[in-house]
Structure 1
Amino acid sequence: MLRFHGDFDMKFLENVIKVVAPETALRREKARMRLKAMFEARNMYDGASIGRRTAGWRRVSTDANSETAFGTLARLRDSARDLVRNNEFAESGIDGIATYTVGAGIVPHFKGPTEQITETLERLAIAHFDSTDIDAQQQHDLYGLQSQVMRTVAESGECLVRRRRRRLSDGLALPFAIQVLEPDFLDATKDGDAGNGNVVVQGVEFDSLGRRVAYWLFDEHPGSRSSYRLPTSRRVPARDIAHIYRQSRPGQVRGVTWLASTMVRLNDFGDYEDAQLMRQKIAACFAAFVTDIEGVSAGDGGHLTAVGGDTSNYRENLEPGLIETLPPGRDIRFGDPPGVDGYGEYSSRQLHAVAAGLKVPYELLTGDYSNVNYSSARMAWQNFYKKVNVWQKQIMIPQFCRAVERWFLEAAAVSNGTGGSIKAIWTPPPPSMVDPTKEIAAQRDDIRSGTKTLSDAVRERGKDPKEHFAELQSDMALLDELGLTLDCDPRRVSRTGTMQRDQVASEPQET
C-alpha cells in the first residue's frame, strides 16, 4: 500500500501522472491555474473578499424580480405605510417628493394638424382634465390624481391607474375616467407559465416578445374590511392600465418603496426618541428627595413617615412659589434629570442619512433651516431639482401622462372625430427660485445669446408660450389704448427705467 507524506510525495505523484497519463496531468494543471486565477481575481477587490469582516454580508446573484418575490414587496409596503402614518419624518419626505414633483400639476398642451383641431383638443382637455369627471370616484381633477399617483409611488413603490370606459350618454366631456389603485390590487400569486404561451411575473403578464399584455387585478382591495369574500383576480388588458414605478434595475417588473433603504434607520430612530422622552419623563417625576439624618421609617404606601407615625408635617406635592419650613434635622434635595449630551448631533447624523436615502434635502425632511446659508441652500436645492426633473421626465410623464394622453386622444377621436398627427407637450411646474434676481438675469442672458429660446423660458415657468404671448399682447394693447407707460413695458422703457430712444424722438417737442 502506497503512502505519501508531505509536499515531496505529492510532487512525486504529479511526476508519475505526467509520465503515465500526460492528458490527465494537463487537465489537472489547467484546473489548478483556473482555481488560482479565481482566488487572485476575487482578492483584488476588498468587496469580493471572504472573511470575518464580510461574514454577515448578504451577496446573492438574483435578478430584480427574485428580490421582491415571496411576499417581500407586501412586507416592505406595510412597513413603509406604518412609518408614514406614525413617523413625521417619513411623512414629510414622502409628501415633499409628491409636492415638488407634481406641484400644481403637469399640464398638457395639444397641437393638431389644423388650428381647428388644436382648439378642439385644448377645449376638451380643459373641460375633462380640470373637472372631477376624469376621476372614477369624482374626487379629484387630473392634477389631484397626479399628486396621488406620485405619493403612492414614493410610499408604496408603485401605482396602478386603470381606464374606466363611460357611455356617451353619461354626459362627460369625454367617455372615460381613470381609477387610481394601490399596488395591493395586483395579484402577485399569479407567477409562472400563463398557459397560453405567455409568462406571468408577480401579476404582470408578458408575451413571447417580452411585451406587457395584461395585468391580473383583484376585484377589490385584498385588505378591505367591507367584504368577507375571498379575493379573486381577473385579467385586465394592458392597454387599460398604466403602471407607474421607479425602475432601478433592468428587467424589474415591480416597484419598491422609496423608504426601503432607510426604514430600519427611521424606525430605530423613532424608538430612540421615545426612549429619550421616557427617560426625561421618569426623571422629572422625582422632583425632590427629603432626608432625615435622625432616622425616618417608610410608612404605608411608601410615604415618608416620622418615627411615631406622624406625617402631618410632611408635604408630598410641590407647587409654584412654595416656601416650606422643614422641621429640625430634615433636609431636601432636588432631583438632577439626566442630560441629553450628543442628542442633537446624533439626531442630525441620522436624519441626514435618511434624507440621503430618500434623495431629498435635509431641510425639506426636517424643516430645520438653522444651519443653512445661501450657498449651501442653493447647491442642495439645485441638486434636488435635478432629481425632481428626472422623476418628472422618466416616471410621471412617460408612464402616467402618456397613458392618459393616449386614452384622451382615443376618446376624442370617437366622440369628436379628431384625428391626424397630434402632438402633446406636458409641462411640469416650474422650480422655485432661490435667488430670483440672479437667476432671471442669467436666463435673460441665455435668451439674448441665443442658447435658449423665449418659448423655452416660458415653458420652464410652467406656462404655454402661445397663451402667454397672447395674454402679453392683450395687456400691451390695453396699455396703448389707455395711454399708459409702465416700467414693465420693454417697448418704451429700458432696463434702467429711462425711455427708449425711438420713444423720446417720437414724442412732440415743446415750442
Structure 2
Amino acid sequence: MLLKSFKQLFKKPKIKSSAWDASGSGRRVMCWQPERSGINSLLAHSIETLRSRSRDMVRKNPYAANIIDTIVANCVGTGIKPQSKAKDPEFRKKVQELWLKWTDEADSCGASDFYGLQSLVCRSMIEGGECFVRLRNRKPEDGFSVPLQLQVLESEHLDNKSNQTLANGNIIRSGIEFNRLGQKEAYYLFREHPGEGSFGESVRVPASDVLHIYKPLRPGQIRGEPWLSNVLLKL
C-alpha cells in the first residue's frame, strides 16, 4: 500500500484531450455529428418541414397551443395604443379620432381591426418563425379615412426556391433580394398561399412595402425559425 502511494507521486498526470468536455471525443459524444453549415443554409433546407410540423403540432397538441396563446398574450397584451402629444388640443382630438377610425379599417381582408392584427402577426411569427405585413396604399376614391391598409401574409408566401444573381449584381437568396451592400431590396411573394392550390409565380415587391417580422438568433440570419423547433419532439 505504501509502495503504491509512493509510485503515485512520480506518475505522469493524464493529459486531457480537450479543455472542454463537449469538444472531446469520448463515449458520450462519439455519435454527436453537429451541423457546420451557416444558419441561412440550414434554414433553406429545413424551414418548410419545421414550419409544417410546428403548425401541425399547434393544431393537434393542446400544450403547444397553450404555449403559443400564452406568449402572444404576454407579448401583445392590449396592443399598441398611441397617444398624440401635440400641444393643440383640437388637433390632438382630430388625430385621435382619425387613429380610431383607421384601426377599424387597417385589415385589408376586413376580418379584424388593428389590435387583432397585432395578435395575428405575433402568433404567425411564433408558429411559423416569421410573418410578413404588406403595406397596401389605397386611392382617395377607395373611401378610407387613411389611404393605407395592412395585409398579413404567412411565411409560406415567400418564394423560398427563388435563388439567383441578377444582371444588376443584386442577389436573391431564399426569396429575398439584396443589393451589393447587403441591404434588402425586395421580396418575392406569391399572390396566393401555396397551400391553397394554384398560386402561380411569385411577384417582386419592394422591401419598403414589406415588414418582415422575425426573431434573428444568429448574425446574418435572413429567415425566421419557428419558436417550437427545438421542443417539437418533446411535446
Range class of TM-score, shorter chain: 0.7 to 0.9
Does residue 140 (structure 1) correspond to residue 112 (structure 2)? The answer is yes
What count of residue pairs does the alignment treat as equivalent? Answer: 221
Task: Check 1:41–1:220 CA distance in 2 against 1; reply closer, same or farther (3 A cut).
Answer: farther
* Displacement of 1:145: 0.2
The 1-side partners of 2:208 and 2:32 are apart by 42
Does residue 50 (structure 1) correspond to residue 25 (structure 2)? The answer is yes
Task: Check 1:55–1:142 CA distance in 2 against 1; reply closer, same or farther (3 A cut).
Answer: same
Correspondence list, 1:375-390, <5 A: none
Matching residue within 66, 69, 74 for 2:41: 66
Paired AA for residue 50 in structure 1:
S
* Displacement of 1:212: 1.1
* Displacement of 1:98: 0.9
Does residue 212 (structure 1) correspond to residue 177 (structure 2)? The answer is no
Does residue 246 (structure 1) correspond to residue 215 (structure 2)? The answer is yes
Show the counterpart of 1:314: none
Show the counterpart of 2:11: none
The 1-side partners of 2:188 and 2:142 are apart by 28
Task: Check 1:41–1:59 CA distance in 2 against 1; reply closer, same or farther (3 A cut).
Answer: farther
Task: Check 1:114–1:65 CA distance in 2 against 1; reply closer, same or farther (3 A cut).
Answer: farther
Show the counterpart of 2:133: 161
Cα distance per residue 1:307-348 (max 9 Å; x no partner): xxxxxxxxxxxxxxxxxxxxxxxxxxxxxxxxxxxxxxxxxx
Show the counterpart of 1:76: 50
Structure with bigger gyration radius: 1
Paired AA for residue 59 in structure 2:
R
Task: Check 1:196–1:43 CA distance in 2 against 1; reply closer, same or farther (3 A cut).
Answer: same
Does residue 186 (structure 1) correspond to residue 158 (structure 2)? The answer is yes
Q: What are structure 2's unaligned runs of at least 5 residues?
A: 1-14
Task: Check 1:231–1:119 CA distance in 2 against 1; reply closer, same or farther (3 A cut).
Answer: same
Q: Which has the higher contact order (CA 8 A, sep 6+)?
A: 2
Does residue 92 (structure 1) correspond to residue 71 (structure 2)? The answer is no
* Displacement of 1:107: 1.4
Matching residue within 159, 168, 189 for 1:196: 168
Cα distance per residue 1:440-497 (max 9 Å; x no partner): xxxxxxxxxxxxxxxxxxxxxxxxxxxxxxxxxxxxxxxxxxxxxxxxxxxxxxxxxx
Paired AA for residue 158 in structure 1:
E
Paired AA for residue 224 in structure 2:
G
Greater fraction helix? 1
The 2-side partners of 1:57 and 1:109 are apart by 54
Cα distance per residue 1:53-80 (max 9 Å; x no partner): 212213233222111012x101001101
Task: Check 1:117–1:251 CA distance in 2 against 1; reply closer, same or farther (3 A cut).
Answer: farther
* Displacement of 1:192: 3.6
Show the counterpart of 2:143: 171
Identity of aligned residues (%): 39
The 1-side partners of 2:176 and 2:83 are apart by 32
The 2-side partners of 1:117 and 1:48 are apart by 64
Correspondence list, 1:2-401, <5 A: 43-70=18-45, 72-112=46-86, 117-129=91-103, 131=104, 133-225=105-197, 227=198, 231-266=200-235
Task: Check 1:195–1:115 CA distance in 2 against 1; reply closer, same or farther (3 A cut).
Answer: farther
* Displacement of 1:110: 3.4
Paired AA for residue 220 in structure 2:
G
Secondary structure of 2:28's counterpart equals coil
The 1-side partners of 2:16 and 2:171 are apart by 38
Cα distance per residue 1:409-434 (max 9 Å; x no partner): xxxxxxxxxxxxxxxxxxxxxxxxxx
The 2-side partners of 1:203 and 1:263 are apart by 26
TM-score by length of 2: 0.87
Cα distance per residue 1:373-393 (max 9 Å; x no partner): xxxxxxxxxxxxxxxxxxxxx
Secondary structure of 1:69's counterpart equals helix
The 2-side partners of 1:158 and 1:123 are apart by 32
* Displacement of 1:112: 4.8
Task: Check 1:211–1:119 CA distance in 2 against 1; reply closer, same or farther (3 A cut).
Answer: farther
Cα distance per residue 1:87-110 (max 9 Å; x no partner): 100011011111121122121223
